[in-house]
Amino acid sequence: MSRYVPKHVSQEDGSVCEWEHCWAAVGAWLTDGASGGKRTPEPVGFCRFARKSPCDNGGISDVMRGLSNMGLRYVYKPDVDKDDVRRMLMAPTGKLVMLEIDMDSWPESNGDAYHSVGVICGGGSGQNKGNVRTMDPAEHHYNWRDVDGVIAAAAEYNREHHETPGTIDVLTVLPPQEK
C-alpha cells in the first residue's frame, strides 16, 4: 500500500502578497497530507491557523504553529546531517518533508531569495533515478529534481543562517495509508 499524496499547492493564489507566503503554501500542503485530504486550506487560510499575515515572510516555526493549532502531528528535527537527510528523502516512505532553501542553489533556480519547498520521500526510478518529487509553491505541479541539488539548496540555506555547516532542518508529516 502507498501513502496519501496531497495535491500540489501553488502560492500563486491571487492574494495581494502571494509571492510572500511560500511557507504557507507548504503548510497547506502538509495539512492536506497529514489529514489524508480531510483538511485542504488555501495558503491564506493556513496563515490564519499560523496566526501570521499572508504578507509576512515565514518559515518552519510558523508551519509548526499552524499544524499544531489544527491538532495535526508532525516531527521537527533541526541540524540533521545532510547525508542523513539524503537517505530520508530517497527512502520510499511517502513522508512529506518541508525544507527551507536558498533559491540561488535550487535546481532550475528562478530567483535570489529564500524559499520553502516540499518533498515526497521516495526516489524515482528509470529516467528519474536519483531524483525526488518536489512540491515547489512557485510552480503549479510536482517536478522530479536531483536529490543532491535539493540537498545543496537546503544546506546552503542553513549555512547562510549561521547554523551548523552540513546540516539541514526538516519538518515531516506522515500521511495515512491509501485504501
Q: Is 172 exposed, middle or buried (0-12, 13-18, 19+ CB in 10 A)?
A: buried
Could you tell me whether strands 143-146 and 167-173 are parallel, antiparallel, or unpaired per DSSP bridges?
unpaired
Residue 12 binned pLDDT confidence (cut-offs 50, 70, 90): very high
- Mean pLDDT value across the chain: 93
Please give the grid coordinates belonging to residue 51. 496566526
Partner residues linked to 129 by β-bridges: 124
pLDDT at 170: 98
Q: What is the pLDDT of residue 111?
A: 64
CATH fold of 18-173 reads Cathepsin B; Chain A (3.90.70)
pLDDT tier for residue 40 given thresholds of 50, 70 and 90: very high
CA–CA separation, 116 and 52 (whole Å):
16
pLDDT of residue 113: 77
Q: What is the pLDDT of residues 51-66, one digit of tens each?
A: 999 888 899 999 999 9
pTM more than 0.85 = yes
Q: How far is the C-alpha of 57 from the C-alpha of 136, rounded, in Å? A: 16
CA 98 to chain centre: 3
100-156: pLDDT as tens digits = 998 777 766 666 678 999 999 999 999 999 999 999 999 999 999 999 999 999 999
Looking only at Cα atoms, what is the longest distance across the chain?
44
> Does pLDDT of 98 surpass 80?
yes
Joined together, the cell numbers standing for residue 154 give: 537546503
Is the pLDDT at 178 greater than 90, yes or no? no
The three-state (H, E, C) secondary structure of 82-134, written as one string: HHHHHHHHHCCCCCEEEEEEEHHHCCCCCCCCEEEEEEECCCECHHHECEEEE
